[in-house]
Amino acid sequence: MSRTAVSTLLLVASLFAVTAQAAGTPVPALGVAWYPEQWPEQQWAPDLKLMQAAGVRMVRIGEFGWTAMEPREGVYTLDWMERAIAAAAAHQMVVVIGTPTDAPPAWMSQRYPEILRLDENGRPLRHGARRHFSYTSAKYREFCRLIVEQMARRFGNNPNVVGWQIGNEYADDSTDPDAVRLYHDYLKNKYGTIENLNQQWATAYWSQTYDRWDQIPLGTGHGNPGLLLEYKRFVTTQWRAFQKNQIDAIRLYAPKRQFITTNLGGLGWANRYNRTDISADLDLITWDAYVGQGHNEPYRMGATHDLVRGWKRQNFWVMEIQPGFVDWAGVSNSLDPGETRAMVWQAVGHGAEAVAFWQWRSALNGQEQYHGCLIGPDGTPLPFYAEAKQIGADFAKAAAAIQGTAPVSQVAILHDYDSRWAIDIHRQSNRYDQIEVLLGYYRPLKDLTQSVDIIDPRAPLESYQMLFAPSLNVIPEELGRRLRAYVEAGGHLVLGPRSGMKDEYNSLDIRRQPGPLVPALGARVEQFYPLLEDVPVQGAWGSGKATIWAETLAPRPGTETTLTYGEGNGWLTGHPAAVTKTLGKGRITYIGALLDAPLMRAAVKSLLDTTGLRPRVLAVPEGVEVNRRVGNGREVYVLVNHSPRAAKVTLAGPMRDVLNGGEIREAAMGPYGVVVATPAR
């Protein structure tokens, strides 16, 4: 991350800290989703009293309350929200208001069927769940703007409202007439002429050539790879427009003091749309961190936090996290005692400024009756309440140390939505899981550096000593030039398999892989091979196996071979599997195979050593994660034991134990234990 980016990140983090602190909420803050409209008003005060006792400092309200806000068309009833906000403030809590646009009321669904989402077969969804609206419907966007303007006019200057959340977990697209019209307009604006579109998509294949724009179907199923990639980009533009419609309505009345966000669900890695682009118009990013079935996978969850932080390259909030268990998994088991606390502190270590539980109280009816909560339907605490209360106490103790700090990394992984879509459109191997491929790079990087950024390729690159780009399938000319310039200026770029296979239109690059970077690498991929069985590889990084995917490379003079395939696959035997070359002040490396975990770790360590990167790390046992946040002349270490066994970590020197007090030289953690420490002065 560049110095400018770090400064901006810390400034934004400080801004939110100051905003929250001014309203009585420190950073990090503990929050809950609260639905006052679902309960008798006399129950509000007892609930809020229990929240306050647990250290809850923020509540989110309103995101499913459209019927309570507009029971009949044009009749707005917002007094109850004002009373709820005032009641929360009386218990030292600030409020984030959710716009209710994820679940339109029954009167709208019945009277205006044009607002309903059409599925891939053109069938309208029925009222009774949520997300049955069309995000492209002009009529629905009009209703959204009207209700949001009413809310912003009423609460835009309320001192107890710190922010706005637009809708809830954007998800499904639609095939309604407005979507079709907007898609054709999008294609006209991008391609200019139908002839240009036909050329870029190579529509001569299977006689797909179009004569008119209205012949082009929505790309929701199987089809031309150019069409399918462009459709995903179109979906992104429409969710962004849906969001912007409400941002503009809020900003008519709400000052910048009140941030605008949305909570992105889908367990972070969902790619129905480009989340980096969605984030561009928001002040703050929040996401919903769930495990579902099983237990927390620390590397995957940590990488997801880093991905989320990378969308805007700044700290973030977790707007929803499970209080023990969910009710939508195959087996909605509970996390172990203390495991959720460890998850919460992992989020803070990766840059979370606030963490909120979904939800506060068990709903009496509806589709999520069994979901984990802090209190039961009778209004008394559930077993998890005590763990939440401990987290609230933790946050109160750690606020002074955490506030104004953020993670800073020397290495980054490039995550590209175009490339993910392009590979998903034609995976070639159902064993090629792109998230697992990325995590194969992330795990050793996290172990060896203890801080990794995950960023969009369009982000500033110059301050990173190393960039890793697994599966960078789509490399347009401009990106190729930026990556080459990064290397020539002294960076080390490591490309993974399938890199540079496609251009911006999802067409095969005639230069072979890695496309525009073939001259910089001094090598190209001769052929790719999805694998049924592992193949041995050996070279400068040691020996191991290529698994799932393998490519043969043809290096030119001046490019060094670092791994070679052994016996086991006649097409691969004896051919280069990885190559590297010095270019300008830097280096470019191409790894053409997915490597087994031990060899991948050895490769990453060797690459870090070659670059001369010597990050400050603490030696930790398996299952313990170290995160470091810095800022305002301070540094704070967040150590999390993700194991059900006790663990100890020897610290680099004397440190202050933030949660327990006193000076320590060793971090002793029980099962799922947490230590927050700052250097002793």
CB 352 within 8 A of CB 308: no
Mean pLDDT of 257-278: 94
State residue 616's pLDDT score: 81
CA distance 390 to 404: 23
CA distance 649 to 149: 53
State residue 160's pLDDT score: 97
Shared-domain flag, residues 478 and 542: yes
**Annotated catalytic, 663?**
no
State residue 107's pLDDT score: 97
Which of 582, 611, 640 terminates a domain? The answer is 611
The parent domain of residue 492 ranges over 411-611
| 524 phi and psi angles, rounded to 5 deg | -140, 160
Could you give the number of structural domains in the chain?
3
Residue 80 covered by a domain: yes
Q: Which residues pair with 192 in a beta bridge?
A: none
Shared-domain flag, residues 320 and 350: yes
Asked whether the predicted pLDDT for residue 2 surpasses 80, the reply is no
CA distance 661 to 436: 40
Shared-domain flag, residues 464 and 591: yes
Which of 557, 579, 611 terminates a domain? The answer is 611
- Chain segment 481-520, per-residue pLDDT in tens: 999 999 999 999 999 999 999 999 999 999 999 999 999 9
Residue entry with tokens 């697209």: 173
The percentage of the chain sitting over the pLDDT mark of 90, rounded to a whole number, equals: 91
Residue 41 covered by a domain: yes
User: Cα(first)–Cα(last) distance of the chain, in Å?
Assistant: 28
Shared-domain flag, residues 160 and 261: yes
CATH number of the domain enclosing 417: 3.40.50.880
CATH number of the domain enclosing 266: 3.20.20.80
The beta strands (E) that lie in 496-646 are given as: 523-530, 535-539, 542-555, 560-565, 576-583, 586-591, 593-595, 624-631, 634-641
Mean pLDDT of 81-91: 98
State residue 23's pLDDT score: 42
Shared-domain flag, residues 527 and 658: no
State residue 18's pLDDT score: 36
CB 509 within 8 A of CB 565: no
Dig out the tokens for 552 from the structure: 């043969």
Mean pLDDT of 89-106: 97
Asked whether the predicted pLDDT for residue 611 surpasses 70, the reply is yes
The whole-chain average pLDDT of the chain stands at 94
Compute CA distances 670 → 89, 621, 667, whole Å: 36, 13, 10
Asked whether the predicted pLDDT for residue 214 surpasses 80, the reply is yes
Asked whether the predicted pLDDT for residue 3 surpasses 70, the reply is no
Residue 208 covered by a domain: no
**Annotated catalytic, 82?**
no
Shared-domain flag, residues 377 and 507: no
CB 352 within 8 A of CB 366: no
Which is catalytic among the residues 63, 70, 320, 551? Answer: 320
State residue 134's pLDDT score: 95
The DSSP code for 124 is: B
- Chain segment 340-375, per-residue pLDDT in tens: 999 999 999 999 999 999 999 999 998 889 999 999
Shared-domain flag, residues 565 and 631: no
CATH number of the domain enclosing 653: 2.60.40.1180
**Which residues are within 8 A (CB) of 267 and not within 5 positions of it... i.e. 6 or more apart?**
288, 289, 290, 292, 304
Mean pLDDT of 211-236: 93
Mean pLDDT of 469-474: 97
Which is catalytic among the residues 63, 169, 387, 504? Answer: 169
State residue 19's pLDDT score: 39
Count how many Cα atoms sit within 13 Å of the Cα of residue 85 in the half-sphere of its side chain. 22
Helix 138-155 vs helix 225-251: angle between axes, to the nearest 10 degrees? 30
Shared-domain flag, residues 437 and 508: yes
**Which residues are within 8 A (CB) of 302 and not within 5 positions of it... i.e. 6 or more apart?**
346, 350, 446, 625
Residue 301 covered by a domain: yes
Asked whether the predicted pLDDT for residue 681 surpasses 90, the reply is no
Mean pLDDT of 60-83: 97
Shared-domain flag, residues 54 and 157: yes
State residue 14's pLDDT score: 40
CB 62 within 8 A of CB 96: no
CA angle 223, 237, 140 (to 5 degrees): 105
| 277 phi and psi angles, rounded to 5 deg | -70, -40
CA angle 617, 588, 471 (to 5 degrees): 80
- Chain segment 167-213, per-residue pLDDT in tens: 999 999 999 999 999 999 999 999 999 999 999 999 999 999 999 99
CA distance 436 to 515: 24
Residue 190 covered by a domain: no
Asked whether the predicted pLDDT for residue 94 surpasses 50, the reply is yes
Residue 224 covered by a domain: no
Shared-domain flag, residues 397 and 474: no
CB 249 within 8 A of CB 260: no
Shared-domain flag, residues 589 and 647: no
Asked whether the predicted pLDDT for residue 469 surpasses 60, the reply is yes
Residue 199 covered by a domain: no
Compute CA distances 20 → 15, 96, 344, 403, whole Å: 9, 11, 19, 11
Asked whether the predicted pLDDT for residue 10 surpasses 90, the reply is no
State residue 7's pLDDT score: 35
Dig out the tokens for 644 from the structure: 């059900």
Q: Is the dihedral of CA 547, 549, 553, 558 positive or negative?
A: negative
Compute CA distances 330 → 82, 169, 206, whole Å: 39, 21, 41
Shared-domain flag, residues 564 and 628: no
Residue 628 covered by a domain: yes
Helix 194-201 vs helix 177-191: angle between axes, to the nearest 10 degrees? 90
Helix ranges, 451-596 (H): 477-488, 518-521
State residue 108's pLDDT score: 96
State residue 409's pLDDT score: 97
- Chain segment 269-310, per-residue pLDDT in tens: 999 999 999 999 999 999 999 999 999 999 999 999 999 999
Which of 587, 611, 635 terminates a domain? The answer is 611
Q: Which residues pair with 316 in a beta bridge?
A: 352
| 148 phi and psi angles, rounded to 5 deg | -70, -40
pTM: 0.95
pLDDT bucket at 25, cuts 50 / 70 / 90? low
- Chain segment 567-594, per-residue pLDDT in tens: 988 999 999 999 999 999 999 999 999 9
Asked whether the predicted pLDDT for residue 8 surpasses 90, the reply is no
